Amino acid sequence: MFNLKYIYDEMYKTKPRRVAEVGVNEPDKCSLLPFIHEGIPTLLVEPLPWCANNLRNAFERKPVEIIEGVVGDKEGTVALYDRGEGSWIEDVPRGAAPDEHQAHSGLKREEVNHNYIRTVQSYKWSMLDSGDIDVLCVDTEGAEWFVIREMVSRPALVRCEMHFTHSGWKNPYSVQIRQKMVDMGYVIIGEDVSDVLWARDKNTSL
């Protein structure tokens, strides 16, 4: 896992204006904890009600905004296949969520118990992105494109789940994401077992 605060501090020598994470889960899984502890304004998006509530309780004294919902292809409501940390939304192409991959659970959507299919609020990222986000993390089990596609800000760092090296799963929108990031003037500065980390090219006018 990338130490985003260390990387940001080393590269930019300044505090970010705002940071954001889409797909957080529990407070101890939040990638932006060091920024939050430093008092940096933070936006967190999380669909599972108990996780969102735990985030509120954990960060109630910090400048943290918590949106209970998902970022999807459209505004309104969508079906969320509740698999805990591996939950995905119906907007992800059929068979393309990590949990549907044969090397993971190989789960078929029609086999998911109806008690684990939740109706959740869906937002377009352009409605949530206020234009001042300097660090962005996206981990939404195959729906990452719906964030990248709608970015208003041009964050200095963008971390996005793109693959799992141990299983061979690849993000269904990998080609679109990579092309969009290049078009916006980003370069890859790191890859790990699941994520790609982009930095804004300082020589590119955005």
User: For the segment 155-201, what is each residue's pLDDT rounded down to a tens digit?
Assistant: 999 999 999 999 999 999 999 999 999 999 999 999 999 999 999 97
Q: Could you tell me the two tokens for 124?
A: 């377009």
Extents of the domains making up the chain: 4-200
User: For the segment 113-160, what is each residue's pLDDT rounded down to a tens digit?
Assistant: 999 999 999 999 999 999 999 999 999 999 999 999 999 999 999 999
Strand order in the sheet with 88-89: 70-71, 117-123, 76-81, 88-89
Q: Could you tell me the two tokens for 13?
A: 């020598």
- The pLDDT assigned to 205 comes to 40
Residue matched to tokens 């907007």: 91
Tell me the whole-structure pTM to 2 decimals: 0.96
User: For the segment 14-28, what is each residue's pLDDT rounded down to a tens digit?
Assistant: 999 999 999 999 999
Element (H, E) at 55: helix 49-58
Handedness of CA 57, 59, 65, 71 (dihedral sign): negative
Length of the chain: 206
Closest by Cα among 37, 29, 12 to 134: 12
Strand partners of residue 81: 88, 117
CATH architecture of 4-200: 3-Layer(aba) Sandwich (3.40)
